[in-house]
Amino acid sequence: MPLDRSEYLSNIFKDGIFKDKVVFCTGGNGSICSAQVRALVHLGANACIVGRNVEKTEGMAKDIATARLGSKVIGIGAVDVRSMESLEKAVATCVKELGRMDFAIAGAAGNFLAPMSQLSANAFKAVIDIDLVGSYNCAKACLPHLVKAAKECPTAKTATPSGRIIFVSATLHYQGTALQTHAVAAKAGVDALSSQVCIEYGPLGITSNVISPGPIGGTEGMDRLAKKVQPGENPWKAIPSGRIGAVKDIADATVYLFSDAANYTNGEVLVVDGGAWRTAHGPGSRDFPYPDFIVEGATVDGVGGMKKSKGGSKL
């Protein structure tokens, strides 16, 4: 069922600015990444989204395609971003079926809340592998195609540039965030990775930038990182902008970075969080107050995505 444009894209962007462009997105069946891709498709792009769940990924592709009549959106499931071979096959399918690749979004991620004392080495490694190694694998598989597209549509000579990649990161590591050791380490690496892509591929026509979302309402991520808001409660009043973010906020930032307006924006981190990180209003800060939660040795509960064991939440 088509969504109203106001749910995923501002009205300031001109229809057709991404006509015939192709975007490849890991984690494309997720709440944030699907909105990013939907906005691009609405504005003329075709897309390939990949994810681990076959049914969910294929279903989301069909849903995104409703953003524009005549669009082509491919959903490829059973793709593990930790596997270079898996990603290379997906990229090859994207280019074969859609003809090219102009943009890439490295958006696959995993997260949960856990104090370091309860965070196993395997759980830590899992997040590093998905967020950081997965982002590297995405870039590695996509960059040859992005470089080719950049040569065909050089930024200086066209109003519809190609050869751009966005990494979806976070603000957790700016000040450090309790219960997020795994994600802090992974996202710091993602930011550094994007800078390296800028340095080494910028001379080849590539722009590499980061979008760092803050708390975004109605997403799977917030279900895992915060308890449900009760009626009449306003837990986001400490955010300078006075509200929780929306997926449209991230989609708008994506359109900007892929558009002609961002021709000279490279190697940057675009924080889209309403100023939340400046007040240390990160995941868990409302429900698991620092430092009491750590000192007491409590166990995270009341949020989504937790597997229960006899000893409590399994991480």
In whole angstroms, what is the distance from residue 134 CA to residue 81 CA? Answer: 5
310, part of any domain: no
181, part of any domain: yes
Taking only the tens of pLDDT, the chain with its 315 residues reads: 688 999 999 999 999 999 999 999 999 999 999 999 999 999 999 999 999 999 999 999 999 999 999 999 999 999 999 999 999 999 999 999 999 999 999 999 999 999 999 999 999 999 999 999 999 999 999 999 999 999 998 665 666 789 999 999 999 999 999 899 999 999 999 999 999 999 999 999 999 999 999 989 877 766 666 667 667 767 777 788 988 999 999 999 999 999 999 999 999 999 999 998 988 755 556 666 666 666 767 777 666 655 543 333 333
Catalytic annotation present for 72: no
144, part of any domain: yes
3, part of any domain: no
pTM, two decimal places: 0.89
Catalytic annotation present for 187: yes
**pLDDT at residue 304, rounded to an integer:** 64
Count of other CB atoms within 10 angstroms of residue 20: 13
The count of structural domains within the chain is 1
283, part of any domain: yes
- Annotated catalytic residue within 187, 195, 248, 313: 187
**What CATH number did the domain enclosing 57 receive?**
3.40.50.720
199, part of any domain: yes
**pLDDT at residue 300, rounded to an integer:** 74
Residue 32 structural domain: 13-305
- Annotated catalytic residue within 169, 195, 212, 313: 169
209, part of any domain: yes
214, part of any domain: yes
Count of other CB atoms within 10 angstroms of residue 291: 8
